[in-house]
């Protein structure tokens, strides 16, 4: 998300006052013992017969109103996961535990979100696992923050920065609802002056001009740490990869993910009529020692392009020298005439 706003850092809560991941696993409902049935306080996914999906927090005495009727929470509580419940109109709905994609897509939005297809690959590119420490700039509605916290919990932590007050509070409410807030430190702050964390495993930037913050990224990353960013346009990609080369990053990759669903009909399997196509370009890189020459570690195509540029410059220089010689006099000596 665009990172604009006041430059002063206003920390939502000092990191050193936060309990450790091990302590928080006992506080969060995320890691409570699993059960084969829905319980009060659980997040449940209702899937109606027309494939509509609804995420709700089960509370005794509450009702959930849909176009296919009313589903009583008391009826859902105690139901086995994977079973069906019925509205007062006798319309069935499956009761399922929500997956990560369901949590991300059902967040209350105040900004454009990062889609699950990109978030899953970013977790891979950032090399995240339980216990990792990762910094995110541009919390937004908390979609990617959800995926990052899912990956690093219960012993890791996500440090997420957002400049806009209302979006910062929206993300906090979203993360609190799904039970992942204990594994996230939210900061309502600009990253102009850098991050408050050092030696983290990975940094992700979801800001309009990520190339402006590579110095801050290097200061936060551990040696050889992982960096990634997502931008929507090709000119932003060009600016970022040029800046990464100048800032001593290597192993640079630019990727785009296109997701095509298929109609699950055995007798006539075919693609869906629409697909989730371009949502952004994913740029990833590794932080290397400042004393190394990043030109030695660029992609092969980049090396070949530079070699072609160098050769073209040499040919142009020789042509210019030849042209200058022709202008200053004859190029070849006069030959004697026969006889």
Contact yes or no for 250/288 (Cβ under 8 A): yes
The CATH number for 243's domain is 3.40.50.150
Least confident of 86-95, 140-149, 328-337: 328-337
Structure tokens at 24: 């928080």
Task: Flag whether 312 is in a domain.
Answer: yes
Backbone φ, ψ for residue 337 (5° rounding): -75, 145
Q: Which range marks the domain in which residue 128 is found?
A: 101-292
Of 66, 98, 130, which residue constitutes the final position of a domain? 98
| Assigned domain for 45 exists | yes
Same domain for 142 and 42, yes or no, is no
In a domain, 59, yes or no: yes
- Say what the pLDDT of residue 25 is: 47
How many helices (H) does the chain have, and how many strands (E)?
Answer: 9, 16
My answer on whether 218 and 310 are in the same domain is no
Among 201, 221, 191, which residue's Cα sits nearest to residue 133?
A: 201
Residue 233 within any structural domain of the chain: yes
Judge whether 184 and 109 are in contact, CB under 8 Å: no
- Final residue belonging to a domain, choices 38, 70, 98: 98
Domain count, the chain: 3
Residues 90 and 130 in one domain: no
The verdict on 161 and 269 lying in the same domain is yes
Is 80 exceeded by the pLDDT of residue 326? no
Measured on CA atoms in the order 296, 300, 302, 306, is the torsion positive or negative? positive
Are residues 281 and 316 in contact, defined by beta-carbon separation less than 8 angstroms?
A: no
Choose among 233, 211, 228, 229: nearest CA to 278. 233
pLDDT in tens, 165-202: 999 999 999 999 999 999 999 999 999 999 999 999 99
One domain for residues 182 and 166: yes
Q: What are the Cα distances from residue 203, in Å, to 14, 44, 127, 236, 285?
A: 19, 32, 11, 18, 10
pLDDT over threshold 60, residue 101:
yes
Question: Is there a single domain that holds both residue 107 and residue 245?
Answer: yes
Q: Are strands 157-162 and 133-137 parallel, antiparallel or unpaired?
A: parallel
- State whether 160 and 35 are in the same domain: no
63-73 pLDDT, tens per residue? 999 999 999 99
The last residue of a domain, from among 51, 81, 98: 98
- What is the CATH classification number for the domain harbouring 93? 3.10.330.20
268 and 145 share one domain: yes
305 with 274, same domain: the answer is no
| Cα 43 to Cα 28: distance, rounded to the nearest angstrom | 13
- Phi and psi for 44 in degrees, rounded to 5? -125, 145
Decide if pLDDT at 15 tops 50. no
Using one digit for the tens of pLDDT, what is the confidence trace for 262-300?
Answer: 999 999 999 999 988 899 999 999 999 988 887 777 777
pLDDT band of residue 307 (cuts 50, 70, 90) is: confident
Q: Give yes or no for residue 239 having a pLDDT over 60.
A: yes
With contact defined as beta carbons under 8 Å apart, do 138 and 166 qualify? Answer: no
The answer to the question of residue 3 being in a domain is no
C-alpha–C-alpha distance, residues 331 and 182, integer Å:
80
Nearest C-alpha neighbor of 259 from the set 279, 237, 283: 279
Residue 27 structure tokens: 């506080």
As a whole number of angstroms, the distance between CA 210 and CA 135 comes to 14
Task: Specify if 20 maps to a domain.
Answer: no
Does 15 map to a domain?
no
Q: Do 156 and 183 contact (CB within 8 A), yes or no?
A: yes
Res. 11: pLDDT tops 90: no
Query: Residues 81, 172: one domain?
Result: no
The closest of 168, 221, 194 to 12, measured between CA atoms, is: 168
> Can you give the pLDDT at residue 294?
75
Instruction: Tell whether 243 and 113 lie within a shared domain.
Output: yes
CA atoms within 13 A on the CB side of 297: 21
Question: Could you tell me if residue 267 is inside a domain?
Answer: yes
Average pLDDT over residues 234-243: 96
First to last CA, the chain: 86
Looking at the fold, whether 146 and 288 belong to one and the same domain comes out as: yes
pLDDT over 90 percentage in the chain: 72
Q: 12 falls in which pLDDT band (50, 70, 90)?
A: very low
Model pTM above 0.75: yes
pLDDT at 303 over 80: no
Mean pLDDT rounded to a whole number for the chain: 88
What's the confidence (pLDDT) of residue 291?
85
What local confidence, expressed as pLDDT, does residue 331 receive?
57
């Amino acid at each position: 998300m665009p990172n604009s706003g006041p430059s002063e850092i206003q920390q939502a809560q000092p990191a050193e006052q936060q309990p450790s991941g091990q302590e928080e696993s006992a506080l969060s409902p995320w890691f409570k013992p699993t059960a084969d049935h829905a319980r009060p306080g659980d997040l449940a996914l209702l899937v109606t017969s027309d494939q509509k999906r609804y995420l709700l927090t089960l509370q005794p005495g509450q009702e959930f109103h849909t176009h296919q009727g009313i589903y009583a929470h008391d009826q859902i509580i105690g139901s086995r996961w994977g079973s069906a419940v019925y509205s007062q109109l006798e319309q069935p709905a499956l009761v399922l535990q929500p997956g990560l994609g369901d949590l991300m897509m059902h967040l209350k939005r105040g900004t454009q979100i990062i889609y699950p297809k990109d978030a899953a690959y970013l977790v891979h590119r950032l090399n995240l696992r339980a216990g990792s420490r990762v910094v995110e700039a541009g919390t937004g509605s908390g979609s990617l923050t959800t995926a990052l916290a899912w990956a690093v919990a219960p012993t890791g932590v996500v440090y997420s920065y957002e400049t806009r007050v209302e979006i910062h509070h929206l993300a906090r409410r979203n993360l609190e609802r799904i039970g992942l807030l204990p594994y996230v430190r939210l900061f309502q702050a600009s990253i102009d002056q850098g991050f408050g964390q050092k030696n983290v495993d990975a940094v992700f930037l979801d800001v309009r001009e990520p190339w402006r913050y590579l110095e801050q990224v290097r200061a936060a990353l551990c040696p050889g740490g992982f960096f990634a960013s997502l931008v929507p346009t090709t000119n932003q990609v060009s600016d970022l990869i040029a800046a990464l080369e100048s800032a001593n990053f290597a192993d640079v990759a630019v990727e785009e993910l296109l997701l095509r669903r298929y109609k699950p009909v055995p007798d006539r399997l075919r693609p869906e009529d629409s697909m989730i196509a371009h949502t952004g370009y994913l740029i990833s890189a590794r932080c290397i020692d400042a004393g190394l020459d990043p030109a030695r570690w660029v992609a092969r195509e980049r090396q070949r392009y530079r070699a072609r540029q160098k050769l073209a410059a040499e040919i142009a220089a020789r042509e210019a020298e030849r042209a200058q010689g022709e202008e200053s006099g004859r190029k070849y000596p006069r030959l004697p005439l026969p006889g």
